[in-house]
Chain A
Amino acid sequence: MNLTLKIWRQKDANAKGGIVTYQLGGVEPDMSFLEMLDVLNQDLIDKGEEPVVFDHDCREGICGTCSLQINGEPHGPDRLITTCQLHMRMFNDGDTIVIEPFRAKAFPVIKDLIVDRSSFERIQQAGGYVSVNTSGNTQDANAILVPKPQADAAFDAATCIGCGACVAACKNASAMLFTSAKVSQLALLPQGEVEADRRVLAMVEQMDKEGFGNCTNTGACEIECPKGISLENIARLNREYLRASTK
């Protein structure tokens, strides 16, 4: 396959970035999207140029490191996968592919295609936990019974990998899907219920502070989420928030 790549290049956080066009040949359909970028980078290094930097790590769709806005979609055209699981067989010979970083005020660009997602960290630090010490003296695991449907729903919410695709997909750059996934997971479990009010208030407050936009229920986040986190979680977050803030 021969491709035309239009890639966002930006030297550092303070530099002005822009799209640079590259021609790339020798791409095979079995390559992953990131392996295609590896080939491009090998070419650039051979020519003595700086490679395009992008975030990636596990390359099996679970660590949430890789990002990329590909032809306007977070993680590209396929569904329920991350960029590292996207394969070139989704594209055709002669295609032009536009590759940009995730765009959001709360995700400033660090370099080229890498953005700073530490705003997500701070939302988690504000309350995304159960306040229990690691004494080893907690009660026996089976002393806490959790009905299977509830445990499964908590698990589904907990599958969020924190990649930020929801924010990148949202026209308001809202982090509601991300925040609601953690709030939901812990609100659904008896272990997390005790401090549910405090948690939801603190996490939402931090989310607002970081400069994420508001949710207008377009549902784009759910469609682009590589783990299929459901919009129901946002509804649950709203209920939890309302309940906590009126107490």
Chain B
Amino acid sequence: MSVLDSKIPQGPLEHKWNTYKNNINLVNPANKRNIDIIMVGTGLAGGSAAATLAELGYNVKTFCYQDSPRRAHSIAAQGGINASKNYQGDGDSDYRLFYDTVKGGDYRAREANVYRLAEVSGNIIDQCVAQGVPFAREYGGQLDNRSFGGVLVSRTFYAKGQTGQQLLLGAYSAMNRQINRGKVQSYTRHEMLDVVIVGGKARGIIARDLVTGEIERHSAHAVVIASGGYGNVFYLSTNAMGSNATAAWKVHKKGAFFANPCFTQIHPTCIPVSGEHQSKLTLMSESLRNDGRIWVPKKLEDAKAIREGRLKPTELAEEDRDYYLERRYPAFGNLVPRDVASRAAKERCDAGYGVNKTGEAVYLDFGSAFMRYGKEAVATQKIDNATEAQTRELGKKVVEAKYGNLFQMYEKIVDENPYETPMKIYPAVHYTMGGLWVDYNLQTTVPGLYAAGEANFSDHGANRLGASALMQGLADGYFVLPYTMGDYLAADIRTGAIPTNSPEFDEAEQKVREQLERLMNTNGTKSVDHFHKRLGKIMWNKVGMSRNATHLREAIVEIKELREEFWKDVRIPGEVNGMNTELEKAGRVADFLELGELFAKDALHREESCGGHFREEYQTEEGEALRDDENFMYVAAWEYTGEPADAILHKENLDYEYIEVKTRSYK
């Protein structure tokens, strides 16, 4: 077992990043013109990195499977982006943001990376505002903030319920400026199918043009994987239909270690599954937990009556409701972190208190908020003798102004009016904290190969706090990679253009063609979705919100069997040349069928509960996660050796010098 070198700079925590920047090698502007960079993925991390590296003078090629970089799934983030600006004067600071993130991640993140993240967070907001991102503002013209789960300050900047979209359009516009200058070449409807390694360094990729089906070779001096997470291994998730792990998985198979795959975030407030036809899940922003209260009936017979349609939730008296988050976690109440809220919902539903037909839903109720805001409105509008109904109506207007678009979205999907009856919600797979192992430079274990945003593992430990994904994606892209990659590329100024006619490119292209042919020639009987859905069921039932050794062992066997069946029995109509969406999906599912097994293996090996990883064998008497710092305070980085089952474990020990490791409590 080797020790991974995370290359954390020396010196005190708050000086590490500056010291690092002062001591790295720089590339002069003339030389930057001779250096090429490939960016796989154009979301917040990839888009911002592409724009910044091109501004600096490098030649950047970007690749995305969507028809435009603006459609990357970063766009779907709703609630906001954190930054330690302390504009509210409520005691926020870089240290506090760092502290909250490390604690929120259940002490499984790397201190130095998280501190750097907090340090550059304020710059992100400055940068986005300068680009014209229309953040919410107060009447004085200054930026507004709100609060998110797991913290006690208001540090979240937002643009209504579409913060991700506005930030992505900011990065996209910065990219467009560089495309207009000829410094970025954007390849849309392209998918990376392998990385090319020459002399031990990442030197290019093999990509497929999804319109023509042509296989292309692209070379560069460095390659960045910014292709997002692997949540779609569960089939049903809040990810986009096309979100996939292929780029990350292919580089893993070429030597990049994969870290903590079992750290996956299940978001507590999503619209419950409605039937077998379901293709994806829709998130209801965490910001709703600022005003909504989560509950289930106190009595089993009431829950049963609700499920059978004999009782309406609005008919249930206050004393017959169990506001279980407020009961269990009085300090944070409905704003506990996501992993805690999700597990608590599952616990109640498993105990028989679920409130929809499938028994897998809890209520998110705005009744109290209507009355609270209503009373405020009655007071400010000086209405005498307001009736309860009048007050409630006034309150609804206030809630509508805050969350109108989310309420509308809910009504369109569920066909129930959330102003009249509480929303039904249930946890769903949302984000993956695990990903490619990277050092402080965001470089993987392959030189010249970097990973940014959700695709890497580094900042969120075992659980990510709300509004921190956007922060990390943009931090990596705007402010980290441009420095760390420069340091690496300084050694490449005399290399010259990388040729694409080398044996390494030949071999990589050959392998890609072979896999495509093999998929096309299988001529089986079942569709790609058939296998994807079955994989999703195994993952959700046995590697989902709570896990145990027996289920995990079964999952490992079942996934392997399913993979073998896939390669014997998948059916892909159409041709390999030209557009073939089934073929695209097949390649992605083939990779998920391997990744899922490593995921389960990682979950089995981690004999503790922490963050999003909950092992039933390791819990306190009150059912809280029981960490084992003595044995598991490390990053598990897996090395591929041929089969997921044979992956070799490497450990990066985590040292906490600046933070006291405690039991995470939100009580």
Interface string of B598-628 (1 = CB under 8 A from A): 0000000000000000000000000000000
- The binding surface of chain A is classed by DSSP as loop
Question: B279 touching A136 by the CB < 8 A rule?
Answer: no
In the complex, which residues of chain B have a beta carbon less than 8 angstroms from the beta carbon of A152? 137
In the complex, which residues of chain A have a beta carbon less than 8 angstroms from the beta carbon of B52? 134
Which of A68-76, A92-100, A143-151 forms part of the interface with chain B? Answer: A143-151
Nearest residue, chain A, Cβ from B69: A121
Question: B70 touching A64 by the CB < 8 A rule?
Answer: yes
Interface string of B14-25 (1 = CB under 8 A from A): 000000000000
Asked whether B76 is an interface residue with its Cβ less than 8 Å from the other chain, the reply is: yes
In the complex, which residues of chain A have a beta carbon less than 8 angstroms from the beta carbon of B180? 125-127
> Known contacts A110-B211, A129-B131; is A30 also within 8 Å of B75 by CB?
no
A78 to B282 CA separation, bound complex (whole angstroms): 19
Asked whether B73 is an interface residue with its Cβ less than 8 Å from the other chain, the reply is: yes
A144 to B129 CA separation, bound complex (whole angstroms): 8
Interface string of B190-218 (1 = CB under 8 A from A): 00000000000000000000010000000
Nearest residue, chain A, Cβ from B176: A125
User: Smallest CB–CB gap between A170 and chain B, Å?
Assistant: 20
A106 to B578 CA separation, bound complex (whole angstroms): 21
Asked whether B280 is an interface residue with its Cβ less than 8 Å from the other chain, the reply is: yes
In the complex, which residues of chain B have a beta carbon less than 8 angstroms from the beta carbon of A55? 67
Question: A189 touching B134 by the CB < 8 A rule?
Answer: yes
Question: B176 touching A128 by the CB < 8 A rule?
Answer: yes
In the complex, which residues of chain B have a beta carbon less than 8 angstroms from the beta carbon of A130? 130-132, 173
> Known contacts A64-B70, A117-B68, A141-B129; is A31 also within 8 Å of B277 by CB?
yes
User: Smallest CB–CB gap between B273 and chain A, Å?
Assistant: 11
In the complex, which residues of chain B have a beta carbon less than 8 angstroms from the beta carbon of A151? 134-137, 141
Nearest residue, chain A, Cβ from B173: A129
**What number of A residues sit within 8 Å (CB to CB) of B?**
79
Question: A50 touching B126 by the CB < 8 A rule?
Answer: no
Asked whether B143 is an interface residue with its Cβ less than 8 Å from the other chain, the reply is: yes
User: Smallest CB–CB gap between A125 and chain B, Å?
Assistant: 4
Question: B137 touching A148 by the CB < 8 A rule?
Answer: yes
Question: A118 touching B67 by the CB < 8 A rule?
Answer: yes
User: Smallest CB–CB gap between A40 and chain B, Å?
Assistant: 12
Question: B76 touching A62 by the CB < 8 A rule?
Answer: yes
> Known contacts A62-B165, A146-B137; is A189 also within 8 Å of B132 by CB?
yes
A38 to B140 CA separation, bound complex (whole angstroms): 49
Question: A57 touching B73 by the CB < 8 A rule?
Answer: yes
User: Smallest CB–CB gap between B405 and chain A, Å?
Assistant: 9
- Point out the residue from B71, B166, B527 that lies within 8 Å of A64, measured CB to CB: B71
Question: A159 touching B129 by the CB < 8 A rule?
Answer: no
Question: A154 touching B134 by the CB < 8 A rule?
Answer: yes
Asked whether B519 is an interface residue with its Cβ less than 8 Å from the other chain, the reply is: no
Interface string of B58-76 (1 = CB under 8 A from A): 0000000011101101011
A29 to B131 CA separation, bound complex (whole angstroms): 43
Nearest residue, chain A, Cβ from B274: A30
In the complex, which residues of chain A have a beta carbon less than 8 angstroms from the beta carbon of B31? none
Asked whether A2 is an interface residue with its Cβ less than 8 Å from the other chain, the reply is: no
A51 to B573 CA separation, bound complex (whole angstroms): 8
Interface string of A112-142 (1 = CB under 8 A from B): 0010111011001111111111101011111
In the complex, which residues of chain A have a beta carbon less than 8 angstroms from the beta carbon of B497? none
A116 to B189 CA separation, bound complex (whole angstroms): 10
Question: B242 touching A57 by the CB < 8 A rule?
Answer: yes
Give me the interface of A with B, judged by CB distance under 8 Å. 11-12, 28, 30-32, 34-35, 38-39, 42, 44-46, 48-51, 53, 55-65, 78, 80-81, 85, 87, 89, 110-111, 114, 116-118, 120-121, 124-134, 136, 138-142, 144-148, 151-152, 154-155, 158-159, 161-162, 185-186, 189, 191-192
Give me the interface of B with A, judged by CB distance under 8 Å. 48, 51-52, 55, 66-68, 70-71, 73, 75-76, 85, 87, 120, 123, 125-132, 134-143, 159-160, 162, 164-166, 169, 172-174, 176-177, 179-180, 186, 188, 211, 238, 240-242, 274-275, 277-280, 282-283, 408-409, 412-413, 415, 478-479, 482, 527, 529, 571, 573-574, 578-579, 581-582
